[in-house]
Amino acid sequence: MAHGPHHGDRRRRRSHRPRATGPARGASSRRRTPILGGGHRLAGWRRVARSSRSPLVTAPRNYLVPTVIEQTSRGERAFDLFSRLLKEHIVFLGTPIDDTIANLTCAQLLHLESENPDKDISLYINSPGGDINALFAIYDTLQYIRPDVTTICFGQAASAAAVLLAAGAPGKRLALPHSRILIHQPYAGAHGQVSDIEIASREIQRLKVQLEEVLARHTGQSLERIQADTDRDYVMTAAEALEYGIIDEVIESRGLTADGDGSPRISAVP
């Protein structure tokens, strides 16, 4: 009886039925992972990172760091550019602020203090902000070390970076004319069980109060105004940041004056 082909056709038809697909194993658990995770982030970096095409705030890239060649009595000596600037007590903060950047920045500040505790340090800031715990690590170090720290904003000082700009030594907080300064409240995208969200909410509220108190202390604004202004993104030009009390001067150029030992020193010219 010729029934083989009939059964074969049925088997072939079954084999071509589409199979139902579902989420990959572990996908649901990944979605439930709390965003809060290892720390609370200020919202500025998240929003800029999602909307901007600037290399500064998109995926990390490898850039060639220029090398500076110096002539010494022993011949030539090569420095990478940032090490050469560090030798002149200049620290750069030009990336989003996370634990790694905070550790590097604090290490440079402590090193410069050990080299010469009486010489000012210049902290140049062009950052979209970042992690609030990393922010407080740098902030506390700025207040802890003996040298005065001059903070200079070029480009932008947003979110956590704006707090560091305001935390410079009194009278030594500067910004270039086209700088952008932004302040706002912390952001915490907490997920998980209700108890987890309640714990995260209490912690972010505590950090929010700390942040507001720091800004009020360094700007001279009332705590009530800081709370009102940081409820949403509050963007300022350099001139507006000067009026607000985040900086002390808007600078356009600089000249050379002499230190007490006769060596040249760069000074800002408003």
List, by residue number, the catalytic residues.
159, 184
CA distance 187 to 44: 9
CA distance 228 to 215: 12
Torsion angle of C-alpha atoms 71, 73, 77, 81, degrees rounded to 10: -60
Task: Dihedral sign for Cα 96, 98, 104, 109, please.
Answer: positive
Give rounded-to-5 percent helix, strand, coil for the chain. 40, 25, 35
CA distance 236 to 243: 10
> Could you write out the DSSP letters of every residue in 53-87?
--TTTSS----PPPEEEEEETTEEEEEEHHHHHHH
CA distance 219 to 238: 14
